[in-house]
Chains A and B, each alone.
Chain A
């Protein structure tokens, strides 16, 4: 199987999307950054393939998880979808329209429907603004509810939807706990009635007891407003719990994509297998039964990634041809896609 196969197939159509059109379709997305190196190399440019030929779809009401280790391209994928980054190549099709060749006005309208929730609520909230103003700002900018009274009513409503007392409107971010600030971030993301939200490590900084509260809130909101999420996280247990389907990335490439339960109970790609084995399960009896094999080596530099399959230097299944051929995704079972010719 050659690289071309990965480019032509459109992996990841879930049962829900087969019926109708997906809410979001990412086609052969590439984001390559050019880095000018130090003086010693006389300004020679290095290329980082942060996202390299990634394709997937997300249905209405669906949560797609995006996992993988630091630097594998999760955030960049999210930023390209939101048009915060102009992709090197590929297409983003949202609600049937190709964002890549949309005019400015139409693009802005579509972008209202797409929001983002970040990891660190503290750095993403303006410390000098009160919570009410923070949540109301997008409505003001986009000219919804021009009237202050109406806007305040809506802010109060959003706060209570997110499990906060409307009194919090008059507080500053530093007067709130981490979990409360994350709820403010969610309320702000909801203010323009989005259809799609990128949750980039949205619960990662929270303690377990608070994290569970926010996870439940995200699930309730999804059901209530038929939202779709791209849920980016490094905590695989949380991803398994929250996501219908999960995509695994390694060094800018998708290596596996499947229904959540299928991926976690039957991982096929050797990288996914190693990743899941590395996650400790909060049960000492289960842990005693598990093999604690450790994957060798570290993630290679994205500046000079390995040839062929980017995973081959760490892969227990690698053979000679893995150093030359870039494996495309293959559908080994309905809905279960793997980029490895050896499984």
Chain B
């Protein structure tokens, strides 16, 4: 599949009174057309900042994209004019956030918000926009779409609002949707409804999807490929199967051992990762995971492990990945 988005060596920083926050610290990854990519990692590791950087939505000040390139269909987003950027944001890449109330305008009806974007970007007449809005609401499983168009966001439940956000995100036929914790605020049965809906629609319409989440289950169920982030860096990437069954970074391995599995009988203690993630305002020497890592060797203290390929599209940023590979072979 052709590459849709190519992020290279992206660095985004915040300049605060407490120091420079290296929120995203040199990440590189690709998203192919029509595929679903999961980005996982714990709170504060830079998932959202990385996503907002793609659309240049980082508040400046205090933030800045310090270096790197972001190519979308071959064009460098970081070099785009304001006009090109507006067109990109509304029509080609759209975002779905955790809390739809922050991205829906509370004083405008659902219909107005849907139609406005389509009139602007697709140059539809008000009548055309209205009929497409009705169709979109039906598509995302909202009953009585005609009536809903006249309602305000606060009339809807959290799950319904997220459906509206998905309709909005799809309205201008985007190539890519970035969903940042789209279901974290929802109950589990509603979460399943929304995620199944997103999967069906993106597959059917050939839209690529980036799902950002801290939930390893959600990624396992929906993502074709996965990137794991830690302290502003991507530390491992690969197919979902590689990441979950052949993890080649101690942090990924640690995460997988930390989550309880409800499909297995209970009894065993979890194996947590000791310590906590580093403070991103301090300069980190060597591997950021070293203080918590049980595989660490001397060089981890001073050298930053690069994200190297281990073949088959699987990458790991760990000096000791060969040792992990050996252990996995032994175990299987």
Chain A residues with CB under 8 Å of chain B are 69-70, 177-180, 207-213, 215-216, 219, 234, 236-238, 240-242, 260-261, 264-265, 274-287, 292, 294-295, 298-299
Who on chain A is nearest to B241 by CB? A284
Number of interface residues of B (CB under 8 A): 46
CB contact between A295 and one of B160, B189, B271, B276 (< 8 Å): that residue: B189
Summed over the interface, the residue pairs from A and B with CB atoms below 8 Å come to a total of 137
Contact segment of B56-64, B70-78, B250-258: B250-258
Tell whether B117 is near chain A: CB-to-CB under 8 Å.
no
Tell whether B273 is near chain A: CB-to-CB under 8 Å.
yes
Query: Are A209 and B266 touching (Cβ within 8 A)?
Result: no
Query: Are B273 and A209 touching (Cβ within 8 A)?
Result: yes
Who on chain B is nearest to A217 by CB? B272
The CA of A231 and the CA of B241, in the complex, are separated in Å by 33
Query: Are A209 and B217 touching (Cβ within 8 A)?
Result: no
Tell whether B152 is near chain A: CB-to-CB under 8 Å.
no
Q: A237-B261, A284-B241 are in contact. Are A279 and B188 (CB under 8 A)?
A: yes
Q: A241-B270, A282-B256 are in contact. Are A207 and B187 (CB under 8 A)?
A: no
Inter-chain contacts of A240 with B (CB < 8 A): 260, 262, 266
Inter-chain contacts of A282 with B (CB < 8 A): 216-217, 219-220, 244, 256, 259, 261
SS of A interface (majority): helix
Query: Could you give 9 example pairs across A and B, Cβ below 8 Å?
Result: A179-B276, A212-B258, A212-B259, A213-B273, A219-B269, A276-B262, A294-B192, A294-B193, A294-B196
- In chain B, positions 208-227 with a C-beta closer than 8 Å to chain A are 214-223
Inter-chain contacts of A284 with B (CB < 8 A): 220-221, 223, 240-241, 244-245
Inter-chain contacts of A264 with B (CB < 8 A): 262-263
Query: Are B258 and A211 touching (Cβ within 8 A)?
Result: yes
Q: A216-B272, A234-B188 are in contact. Are A287 and B42 (CB under 8 A)?
A: no
Query: Are A207 and B215 touching (Cβ within 8 A)?
Result: no
The CA of A234 and the CA of B266, in the complex, are separated in Å by 18
Q: A278-B191, A294-B192 are in contact. Are A237 and B262 (CB under 8 A)?
A: yes
Who on chain B is nearest to A284 by CB? B240
Inter-chain contacts of B312 with A (CB < 8 A): none
Query: Are B271 and A285 touching (Cβ within 8 A)?
Result: no
Query: Are B262 and A207 touching (Cβ within 8 A)?
Result: no
The CA of A148 and the CA of B220, in the complex, are separated in Å by 52
Closest beta carbon of chain B to A229's beta carbon, Å: 15
CB contact between B192 and one of A241, A260, A261, A292 (< 8 Å): that residue: A292
Chain B residues with CB under 8 Å of chain A are 42-43, 157, 159-160, 187-193, 196, 214-223, 240-241, 244-245, 254-263, 265-266, 269-274, 276
Query: Are B187 and A69 touching (Cβ within 8 A)?
Result: yes
The CA of A180 and the CA of B189, in the complex, are separated in Å by 31
Query: Are B244 and A278 touching (Cβ within 8 A)?
Result: no
Q: A279-B217, A282-B261 are in contact. Are A274 and B255 (CB under 8 A)?
A: no
Who on chain B is nearest to A220 by CB? B269
The CA of A215 and the CA of B259, in the complex, are separated in Å by 10
The CA of A234 and the CA of B189, in the complex, are separated in Å by 11
Query: Are A236 and B188 touching (Cβ within 8 A)?
Result: yes
Closest beta carbon of chain A to B273's beta carbon, Å: 4
Query: Are B215 and A212 touching (Cβ within 8 A)?
Result: no
Between B187, B193, B218, B257, the greatest number of chain A beta carbons within 10 A of the residue's beta carbon is seen for B187
Query: Are A210 and B276 touching (Cβ within 8 A)?
Result: yes
Query: Are B276 and A177 touching (Cβ within 8 A)?
Result: yes
Closest beta carbon of chain B to A12's beta carbon, Å: 18
Inter-chain contacts of B216 with A (CB < 8 A): 208, 282
Closest beta carbon of chain B to A298's beta carbon, Å: 6
